[in-house]
Structure 1
Amino acid sequence: MTDADREFLRAIFGQDAELYDQARPGYPAQLFADLARLAGLSPQSRVLEVGCGTGQATRPLAQLGCTVVAVELSPEMAAVARRNLRQFPNVTIDVCPFERWTPPETPFDLVLSATAFHWIDPDIRVPKAADILRPNGTLALIHSEHVAGGTERFFIDAQDCYERFDPKTTPGWRQQLAADIPDDSSEIDRSRRFGPAQFHRYEWEQAYTTRSYLDLLMTYSPTRSLPQPDRDRLLACLGNLIDRDHHGHITKRHLTRLTLAHRT
């Protein structure tokens, strides 16, 4: 991905922050229980969240009593996050690209990024996270992927819709099995700023109606970046498949991966 592509695509999420907040499914509760235990979080912990979006990963940390500073690129997303987190005086949200954000002098115990770290400049993200952490502080990265499972027939048939209306679609593409997606800490390892990474994986399913699934797709940058005629045709094709062949309901299977590494 070029720098220009990354800048364009990561700005798309703020175009409809309310829809993003309503449609995105969040993360498994067990993940945050494991994160709190493995990072040794307590009400005295200081947490930096990179790319908080509308606050879906921020809330579990705030509920622990941690002091949370969240950095968010989009003013629209940050506004929704502030509304969602208004009952937590321990949360501060700064609107700024992480690359240009100036951290406070006091270091953090945890730097967390949930499905946002890949949008940060790869030359900056890991070294800056290390600089912000105290010695032995934790970098935690959450990645989510759509994997094989759920209503598999729909996702196989949906490939035809994508090949017809999205020119970037790889012909014949299929979702991978969760077991075939490897854990990868190569970027963290190359920095030589962290100890060995730990990996934790969570598989889960989410049910959708036709409307809620199309709303979800409109929170993804590849869908939103399509020219409107193609996007409308793609969504109509997918909606027709769900209504015609699956009685208006499908299930999507997710793999959420948690990668942790402690600063040396």
Structure 2
Amino acid sequence: MTETDREKLRTTFGEDAERYDRCRPGYPAEMFDDLAILAGIAPQSRVLEIGCGTGQATLPLAQRGCAIVAVELSPDMAAIARQHLAAFSGTQVVVSTFEDWPLPAAGFDLVLSATAFHWIDPQIRTSKAADALRSGGTLAVISTHHIAGGTEPFFAEVQECYERFDPTTPPGLRLQASTNVPTDSTEIDDSRRFGPVQFRRYEWEHTYSTQEYIDLLLTYSGHRAMPPTSQRGLLNCIANLIDTGYGGRITKRYMTQLATARRAGRGNRCLPRRTEAP
């Protein structure tokens, strides 16, 4: 992804913040239990969240009593996040890019980015996250992957819609099994600011009606950025396939990945190695 593409696409999420909040799934509860153990999270732990969106990952941490500063690019997304977090006085939502946001003097116990880290300038994100942490604090990066499973025949057939209306679609594209989705700690390892990266993975499914699935697709940057005529054609094709071929409901299988790494002591550098949960 070029810098121009990243700058353009990362602004699309705030164009319809209400739809994003309504349609985007959250994260498995088990993941937050593991994160609390891996990062030593307890009430009053200081957390910096990068790209909080409408608060899908922020709220579970606020419910654990964390003191959170959440940085969000979109004013509309931030406004909805504030509504969800209104009951938690220890949570603050700031409208800013992470690249431009000035770090406070005191380090955080946890820097978290849930399905947003890849939108931050790669020349800045890892080093600034390390600068934001206290010595021994944890960087946690959450990513979401659509994997093989659920209504598998639909996801094979729907590629014809994408190939027809989106010329960038590789022919014959198929979903991967979770075991074929690679783990990659290269960027964190190369920074030499962190210890070993640990990975945890969580697989789960969600069932959508035709309209719910179309609404979900309209929260994805690639779909939102399509030319209007192509977008309408694609979404109509997908809706027709679900209605006529699958009784108006399909199930999507997700894999949520949590990557965590401890910050090295100030002035020190680690020689990291990657570890993965069985």
TM-score, normalised to structure 1, is: 0.99
Instruction: Within 5 Å, give how 1:44-63 maps onto structure 2.
Output: 44-63=44-63
Kindly provide the CA deviation profile for residues 92-124 of structure 1, in whole angstroms up to 9, marking residues without a partner as x: 011000000001111100000000000000000
In percent, how many aligned pairs have the same letter?
61
Q: 2:174 aligned with 1:180, yes or no?
A: no
Tell me which residue corresponds to 2:70: 70
Amino acid at match of 1:181: V
Rounded Cα–Cα distance in structure 2 between residues aligned with 1:192 and 1:106? 21
Query: Would you tell me which structure has more helix in proportion to its own residues?
Result: 1
In the alignment of these two chains, the number of paired residues is: 264
Amino acid at match of 1:183: T
Q: 2:217 aligned with 1:192, yes or no?
A: no
Rounded Cα–Cα distance in structure 2 between residues aligned with 1:102 and 1:167? 41
Kindly provide the CA deviation profile for residues 26-74 of structure 1, in whole angstroms up to 9, marking residues without a partner as x: 1111000110111111112100000000000000110011100000000
Rounded Cα–Cα distance in structure 1 between residues aligned with 2:221 and 2:168? 13
Rounded Cα–Cα distance in structure 2 between residues aligned with 1:51 and 1:132? 15
Question: Structure 1 stretches (4+) deviating beyond 2 angstroms?
Answer: none
Rounded Cα–Cα distance in structure 2 between residues aligned with 1:58 and 1:3? 27
Rounded Cα–Cα distance in structure 2 between residues aligned with 1:52 and 1:234? 29
Q: Name the SS for the 2:242 alignment partner.
A: helix
Rounded Cα–Cα distance in structure 2 between residues aligned with 1:220 and 1:114? 15
Rounded Cα–Cα distance in structure 2 between residues aligned with 1:29 and 1:213? 23
Instruction: Within 5 Å, give how 1:138-153 maps onto structure 2.
Output: 138-153=138-153
Tell me which residue corresponds to 1:249: 249
Amino acid at match of 1:209: S
Unaligned stretches of 5+ residues in structure 1: none
Kindly provide the CA deviation profile for residues 225-246 of structure 1, in whole angstroms up to 9, marking residues without a partner as x: 0001100010000000000011
TM-superposed deviation, 1:125: 0.1
Kindly provide the CA deviation profile for residues 108-161 of structure 1, in whole angstroms up to 9, marking residues without a partner as x: 000000000000000000000000100010000000010000000100000000
Rounded Cα–Cα distance in structure 1 between residues aligned with 2:201 and 2:42? 23
Amino acid at match of 2:114: A
Root-mean-square deviation (CA, aligned residues, Å) is: 0.5
Instruction: Within 5 Å, give how 1:85-124 maps onto structure 2.
Output: 85-124=85-124
TM-score, normalised to structure 2, is: 0.94
Amino acid at match of 1:208: Y
**Range moving further from structure 2, 166-175 or 253-262:** 166-175
Rounded Cα–Cα distance in structure 1 between residues aligned with 2:263 and 2:37? 17
Rounded Cα–Cα distance in structure 2 between residues aligned with 1:3 and 1:181? 25
Tell me which residue corresponds to 1:232: 232
Tell me which residue corresponds to 1:36: 36
Amino acid at match of 2:23: A
Amino acid at match of 2:8: F
Amino acid at match of 1:9: L
